[in-house]
Amino acid sequence: GPKVLQIPSHQIIDMGQMVTLNCDPVSNHLYFYWYKQILGQQMEFLVNFYNGKVMEKSKLFKDQFSVERPDGSYFTLKIQPTALEDSAVYFCASSLGRRTEVFFGKGTRLTVV
């Protein structure tokens, strides 16, 4: 079936540095999402992106976070600067429409040290 690819699967970064998480969504999808899952806790919505714009973001989407999808390439989540509490698994997802099935990637485990 359709696949969302996330690169890398695991990233370790020093606190204060910048990190970019990359997502290759399903090719004809139009809605893109990032979710955050801290170990043992539920998956929480961060942001969604459509037509080059952020449609909605949660309070977890701090000012240090940004998203973009330049020229239809990777959909990226950038964190600058990183903080210890940013350590989590970040899941990218995409859907064709806002009412259709959402497909998830395998997640990127981010460890901030």
Partner 1 sequence: GEKVEQHESTLSVREGDSAVINCTYTDTASSYFPWYKQEAGKSLHFVIDIRSNVDRKQSQRLIVLLDKKAKRFSLHITATQPEDSAIYFCAARDTGANTGKLTFGHGTILRVHP
Binding site for partner 1 (CB under 8 A): 4, 31, 33, 35, 41-45, 48, 50, 55-56, 91, 95, 97-99, 101-107
The smaller minimum CB distance to partner 1, of residues 61 and 82, is found at 61
The smaller minimum CB distance to partner 1, of residues 62 and 98, is found at 98
CB of 25 to partner 1, least distance (A): 12
Measuring CA to CA, how many Å separate 76 from each of 3, 38, 64?
Answer: 16, 19, 14
CB of 22 to partner 1, least distance (A): 15
Measuring CA to CA, how many Å separate 66 from each of 3, 60, 101?
Answer: 23, 12, 25
The smaller minimum CB distance to partner 1, of residues 75 and 82, is found at 75
The smaller minimum CB distance to partner 1, of residues 16 and 97, is found at 97
Instruction: Select from 73, 87, 78 the least CA-distant residue to 15.
Output: 87
Q: Where are the beta strands (DSSP E) in 1-113?
A: 5-7, 10-13, 19-24, 31-37, 43-50, 53-57, 65-68, 75-79, 88-95, 102-104, 108-112
CB of 98 to partner 1, least distance (A): 3
CB of 42 to partner 1, least distance (A): 4
